[in-house]
């Protein structure tokens, strides 16, 4: 994966977990998450808490034990699991053997260092979700993150999640590729989503806009991106399950 080597993933994880935790009291637990169907704030918090718990177990090369259902204090429940993840990752050798996401097998042995990056972007996207629920709509700038962080979020979708979704049989390969260009990084950065020699067109905009578009959290208009090419084909690509 083409991770941006200058990013401090443990620090980013702590920052985004802190933003998520601080936002929980401001959200109605029954409120819907924009762009996520009937998913509620309570379900979102419980989901991210369990994902942190599961990732910590995976980093230890273990299987996660089930958590108790329906915590009464969502903030305390999330804080405990966030701490579990940070402490687990801090206490493990980054080169020790963990269980990591892969394909065609969903999980394989791999380095512990996989997990800080993965959990940074899990937390970032869900921090956006929580803030969107509070705001009542998807929008840019709901979470504080620099363009380089959002660009790495895009990179993870292109280099890990799309090929993994294909590799484990959740979707067929894209018939045509889609060019993605982030325009707010000093120098434009490009990715190709898909392996086809032919392209449906291109999407350009801020790295945050591209990331939220790929994760299905914002429409092209909400993401502030520019589309060129066959709009129907581009829309069809974006409706595909390119992320879990």
pLDDT tens across 5-45, in order? 589 999 999 999 999 999 999 999 999 999 999 999 999 99
Cα separation, 92 vs 211, in Å, equals 30
Q: Compute the C-alpha angle 98/170/30, nearest 5°.
A: 85
pLDDT at 5: 55
Which domains, and CATH codes, for the chain?
9-135 (1.20.120.450), 147-239 (3.30.1050.10)
Nearest to 136 by CA among 34, 29, 213: 34
Spans of the chain below 70 pLDDT = 1-5, 70-71
**The two structure tokens encoding residue 100:** 């990591």
Question: For the chain, what percent of residues have pLDDT higher than 70?
Answer: 97
What length is written for the chain?
244
Res 4: pLDDT: 47
Q: Is the dihedral of CA 82, 41, 77, 108 positive or negative?
A: negative
Neighbours of 16 (CB within 10 A): 25
Q: How far apart are CA 43 and CA 56, in angstroms?
A: 20
Instruction: DSSP letter for 69, please.
Output: S
Distance (Å, whole) CA 31 – CA 63: 32
Predicted pLDDT at 116: 98
DSSP 8-class letter at 161: I
């Amino acid at each position: 994966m083409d991770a941006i080597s200058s990013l401090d993933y443990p620090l980013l994880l702590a920052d985004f977990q802190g933003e998520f935790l601080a936002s929980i009291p401001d959200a109605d637990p029954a409120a819907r998450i924009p762009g996520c169907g009937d998913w509620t704030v309570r379900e979102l918090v419980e989901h991210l808490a369990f994902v942190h718990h599961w990732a910590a177990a995976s980093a230890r090369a273990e299987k996660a034990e089930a958590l108790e259902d329906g915590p009464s204090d969502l903030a305390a429940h999330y804080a405990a699991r966030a701490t579990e993840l940070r402490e687990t990752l801090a206490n493990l050798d980054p080169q020790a053997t963990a269980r990591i996401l892969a394909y065609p097998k969903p999980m394989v042995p791999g380095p512990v260092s996989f997990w800080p990056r993965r959990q940074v972007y899990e937390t970032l996207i869900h921090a956006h979700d929580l803030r969107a629920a509070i705001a009542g709509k998807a929008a840019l700038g709901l979470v504080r993150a620099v363009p380089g962080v959002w660009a790495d979020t895009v990179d993870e979708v292109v280099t890990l999640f799309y090929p993994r979704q294909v590799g484990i049989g959740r979707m067929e390969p894209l018939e045509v590729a889609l060019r993605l260009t982030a325009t707010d990084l000093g120098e434009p950065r490009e990715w190709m989503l898909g392996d086809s020699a032919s392209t449906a067109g291109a999407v350009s905009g801020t790295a945050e806009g591209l990331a939220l578009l790929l994760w299905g959290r914002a429409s092209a208009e909400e993401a502030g991106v520019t589309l060129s090419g066959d709009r129907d084909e581009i829309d069809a690509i974006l409706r595909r399950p390119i992320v879990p």
